[in-house]
Amino acid sequence: MSILDSGFILGHYNYWVAIILIMIGLYTMMAKRNLIKKFIGLNIIETAIFLFYISLGDVTGGIAPIFQKESGETVGNTILYANPLPSAMMLTAIVVALCMTALALSFAVLIYRQYGTLDARKLMEEL
Amino acid sequence: MNGMFVHLPILIIMIPFAAAFIGPPIGFLFRGCIRRIVLIALSLNLICSILLALQVLSSGPFDYYLSGVAPPLGIALYADYLGAVISVLISGIALVAVSYSAGIIPELGERRTIFFYVLLLLAIGAMQGIVFTADIFTLFVLFEIQAISLYGLVAMRGDGKGLLAGYKYLLIGSAGSAMILIGIGFLYISTGTLNMHLMAELLPPVSGSYTVLAGLALLIAGLSTKIGLFPLHIWMPEAYAYGPSIFPVISTIALKVGVVAIIRVVYTIFGPSLAIQTIPLESTLALLGAVAIIICSILAIRQMDIRKMFAYSSGANIGCIMLGLGIATVPGIEGAILHMITHATAKAGLFLCADAFLIQAGIRYVHEFKGLSKAMPYTMAAFSIAAISMVGLPLTGGFMSKITIASAAIADGITYYAAILLFWTLLSAVYFYRILKNAYFQEGTLSSTIREAPVRVLIPIFIISIATILLGFFVESPMALIRPAAELLLGGGI
Amino acid sequence: MELMNDDLIVRTITRLMVPFLLLFGSYVLLHGHFGAGGGFQAGIIITSAIIFAAIAGNLQEVHSILTYRKLFVFGALGSIGIVILGILGIVTGGNFFQYSPLPLPFDTATIHAIAITCVEIGIGIAVMGMMFLIFLAIAGGTE
């Protein structure tokens, strides 16, 4: 299948969204001078990764992976359900991202109290 | 295999974590008690690591399934030769570092000392976990625990420079973590499993796809931020210079753990045949290593602040380890693993001595060393031994590891890498000679109030020095573990 | 920093929401072993209830009752509980976190449910302590 095929592009739209978000995040991290904006860029990247993983686990027509007997489409005798592993992984990754955000914000608060600015260029001259 | 030995890997991981959780309640109740808890925990950890190393040496690598569920569903730990030897290194260096530091660290105050030790224990526990895990997502989570603890440790002093260094480390490190996470995602799409050994079995049919290649590239790039491989070393100088006293020692072993993770990705998951033949990864690693060696050494020569200088020197040494891995023969990997041990030992000695100089004499720049050998002869002697090992002169551990890597390069027919190692020895001799010349051969203008460091501080420093020298003479005893480790890695990973 | 809130709407909504949030948190906590839920989510929900109460009431007062030290110990105790449950598996002859050999007079599935609920409670306590600590550290103003 060619890369320029419209079916290829539309069929993988979840990956394209993740890629675009990651690029936006990287740009924010590199181009913005405010320390908190830099970190927001990182948060965008992390969110993009969560979306990417969760879209991995989706199965067309599948139900939420909770044990129940009646609902859900069946193939043969098997009930189709979404892959729970990526979601479980992302739960852990969200916790990690949360810790990182809390740490970064408290650093930023303390840095602002010490220097009175969050401008990365002025601050890096101090180092 | 009997009884308790089977559980050693999880005990080694859980002892520091448990101590980190017991620490605060008891530390808040009894003043200054936290250091004793940390010392007991790390001693237990060292004993367990040594027992595990002996166990692995006698009966070979073994798996450990958490909750007793085997890999496709459960999470496994894998205790192999590499893990055993690095685990002993981690707990040994950490024990020495903690026995060096005081009960209540003066620059931190009582409450922050407790937080400091808690973060330190979390970092140690996470490192032990990274060394033993066989599940790539657990690897990521443990890396994050380690990284968050290290970011906190850098900024622990709470002054402006420490905070800025910590923020810089945090931004670079968490961008690296994000890359590792995407890389894991790509490998997970291609294979449908997270277990490293199952992944190794499932990868060969899909190894040519761009997804797998991108996943590998992202993993290597992300891990490079953790180990400070040359273009991504920029967090190291500031973090080492402005972090609290024993942070650089802990960071030194954290770098080695990152290298272990790279070894796991390249040799265990992809395996030598895939990594060498399909993807020319080995030569890329060696090239990156060679560039890191030259540029970091030149940066170190330009630097007059000794802690920043040692940080650049760490960058060069990481380059040397990558060079050894990139040679991808059994002697090359042996040399790389041995260099991890000798470099961690020597660098721990250097930083402990540098901290003793800072506390006793207020010294942190090269020109201030004039005449110091008369004021602090014992610390200076230990510093010299560590410096000699870093340069790689005979009779020390550093010589053995460098000569192993160089002879591996020559045996493999890539003589110019051996030449780069030789040139590097000259460069590092330049920056260590400056300090030693000032200390031993120049008359000082130091004030007469400078005293030798107290015995409590000298004992850990001497232990490290003796270990550095012993590694030069009795290199065969770690090699008994390293040789099968290298053969195992090249023999298909499992 | 004074965060005493006199706004009628905030106070009323808080009074209505907090009990239900606590109930919902407990449900999610105890439902974690066979459905959507678990310790982390429950801990977050319960913490959000406490934060609600803290915002509507007097933050200084909350601060004096729940000091950093107490919250830190709270978090540590929750984590310790998890480690002990893990090691219980080794003591009773299984692997780490293996519950089936626990000497309880139930069938395996029930033992698993009990043990997992205990772990979830540990996680919940740890998360509650730490999340509220983070909230206080960022909003509280004192260091």
- What residue spans define the domains of chain B? 297-494
Average pLDDT over residues B25-36: 78
Amino acid C142: pLDDT: 47
Give a yes or no: residue A84 inside a domain: yes
Tell which residue, C28, C36, C119, B193, has the closest CA to residue A86. Answer: B193
B64-68, B193-197, B348-352: least confidently modelled range: B64-68
Give the gap in angstroms from C-alpha C143 to the nearest C-alpha of chain B: 10
- Identity of the residue numbered B401: S
**Cα separations (Å) of B4 from B7, B11, B62, B81, C95?**
5, 10, 14, 19, 10
- Residues shown for chain B: 494
Q: Which two tokens stand for residue B219?
A: 């993993």
Count: domains in chain A: 1
Amino acid letter, residue B435: I
pLDDT bin (cut points 50, 70, 90) of residue A73 is low
Which positions 97-126 of A are in contact with B (Cβ < 8 Å)? 99-100, 103-104, 107-108, 110-111, 114-115, 123-124, 126
DSSP tag of B274: I
pLDDT band at A27 (very low <50, low <70, confident <90, very high): very high
pLDDT of residue B446: 67
CB proximity B145 to C under 8 Å:
no
Residue A110 domain-assigned?
yes
The Cβ of residue C65 has, within 10 Å, a number of other Cβ atoms equal to 7
Q: Looking at the partner chain, which of A22, A35, A45 has a beta carbon nearest the beta carbon of B167?
A: A35
> Can you give the residue range of the structural domain that contains A17?
6-126
Q: Does the distance separating the beta carbons of A67 and C34 come in below 8 Å? A: yes
Q: Do B194 and A85 touch (CB under 8 A)?
A: yes
Closest partner residue to A111 (CB to CB) among B137, B141, B160 is B160
Q: Tell me: the pLDDT tens digits for B306-330?
A: 888 889 999 999 999 988 888 878 8
Length of chain C: 143
Identity of the highest mean pLDDT range in B31-45, B271-285, B358-372, C103-117: B31-45
Residue C2 has pLDDT above 60, yes or no: no
Q: How much is the pLDDT for A46?
A: 92
Asked if residue A76 is part of any domain, the answer here is: yes
Q: How far apart are CA B125 and CA B120, in angstroms?
A: 9
User: Which of helix, strand or coil describes residue B22?
Assistant: helix
| A102 domain residue, yes or no | yes
Domain extents in chain C: 8-139
Fill in the DSSP letter of residue B62: E
| B81-100 helix and B247-263 helix, angle to the nearest 10 degrees | 170
Using a CB-CB distance cutoff of 8 angstroms, which residues of chain C are in contact with residue A102?
A: 134, 138
Average pLDDT value over all residues in chain B: 85
Q: Using the beta-carbon criterion (under 8 Å), do A99 and B175 form an inter-chain contact?
A: no
Q: Residue A26 maps to which CATH number?
A: 1.10.287.3510
User: Is A1 within a domain?
Assistant: no
Nearest to B37 by CA among B107, B113, B89: B113
Amino acid letter at B155? A
Above pLDDT 70, what percent of chain B?
Answer: 97
Cβ pair C95:B24 closer than 8 A: no
Measured between CB atoms, does C48 come within 8 Å of chain B? no
B18 interaction partners in chain C (CB closer than 8 Å): 80, 83
Cα torsion at B175, B177, B178, B182 (round to 10°)? 140
Does any CB of chain C come closer than 8 Å to the CB of residue B23?
yes
CB-CB neighbors (< 8 A) of C87 in chain B: 14
Please indicate if any CB of chain B lies within 8 Å of the CB of A89: yes
Question: In a 3-state reduction of DSSP, which class is residue B197?
Answer: helix
Q: Tell me which chain A residue has its CA closest to the CA of residue B74.
A: A85
ipTM over 0.85: yes
